[in-house]
Amino acid sequence: MSLKRGAGEGQSVQQLVNNFENRLNSVKKELPNISNPSKRMTIKKHFKDMNNYQLQIAPLIANAPQDLQDKYERLSGDYEDIKNDTERQIEMLEKQEAQQKQQASQSSNAGGALSQSLIQDESVAMENFNRDTQNIVEDMKAIDEATSILQTKIEEQHEVVVRVDNTIDDSHEQMVQGNQSLNKAQEHQKASNRCLWYILAGVIVFIIVIVIIVLATVLPKKNKSK
């Protein structure tokens, strides 16, 4: 039965150093996306594999060629710097995410309370609106009743005005007829006055004639008696 080997087991020191370098380059490529949780998981996995490579390289590197030792020393220095900075960034990001989740939870609770408060405010506003609407409806009914009463009064007054107008028309007609009768009476009066003058003139003429006749009769007799 074979046991599962760790990363790089059974490889030469050259292969281990090359794998270590490849993983370091992969980490460098992933660093710009460190804010992505899945990328952070990938970086952590690379760190774990590189730690395993270091454990395997450590007992072998002393017997490796000098240029390979120098290369590994340089890569190890870069790895330690990148690892320390990256772990600090990951720790800060995870703290920020935890705080954001906590704030989101609090905001959700506050939002629920706010929503409940808004619902209550809307309910109160709706009740006020319904009450105001009912008052407006009652006012409209009162206005309608007042309008009906006013319309009835106007119709009654219209009948009175019509009767007064008819009375005025009748009075006008009677006045016109009275004026016509008065004009006729004046004409009759003028005619009567003329007749009266004619009669008076006739009487005067008659009296004058009588006087003349009497004088004509009496004067000759007096002359004869003398």
Q: What does the pLDDT look like over 5-14, one tens digit per residue?
A: 455 556 899 9
pLDDT at 136: 53
Does the structure show a pLDDT above 80 at 153? no
Angle of helix 66-225 versus helix 13-30 axis, rounded to 10 = 10
Domain spans of the chain, in order of start: 13-99+128-220
Give the pLDDT band of residue 1 (cuts 50, 70, 90).
Answer: very low
- Exposed (0-12), middle (13-18) or buried (19+): which is 16, by Cβ within 10 Å? buried
- Residue 57's CB is within 10 A of a number of other CB atoms, namely 22
pLDDT at 49: 95
Q: In this predicted model, which residue has the larger pLDDT, 24 or 102?
A: 24
pLDDT at 39: 92
What is the C-alpha to C-alpha distance for residues 121 and 140, in angstroms, rounded to an integer?
Answer: 28
Q: In this predicted model, which residue has the larger pLDDT, 219 or 101?
A: 101
What is the C-alpha to C-alpha distance for residues 99 and 26, in angstroms, rounded to an integer?
Answer: 29
pLDDT at 120: 78
User: What 3-state DSSP class applies to 164?
Assistant: helix
pLDDT at 126: 72
Q: Considering the entire predicted model, what is its pTM?
A: 0.43
Q: In this predicted model, which residue has the larger pLDDT, 199 or 46?
A: 46
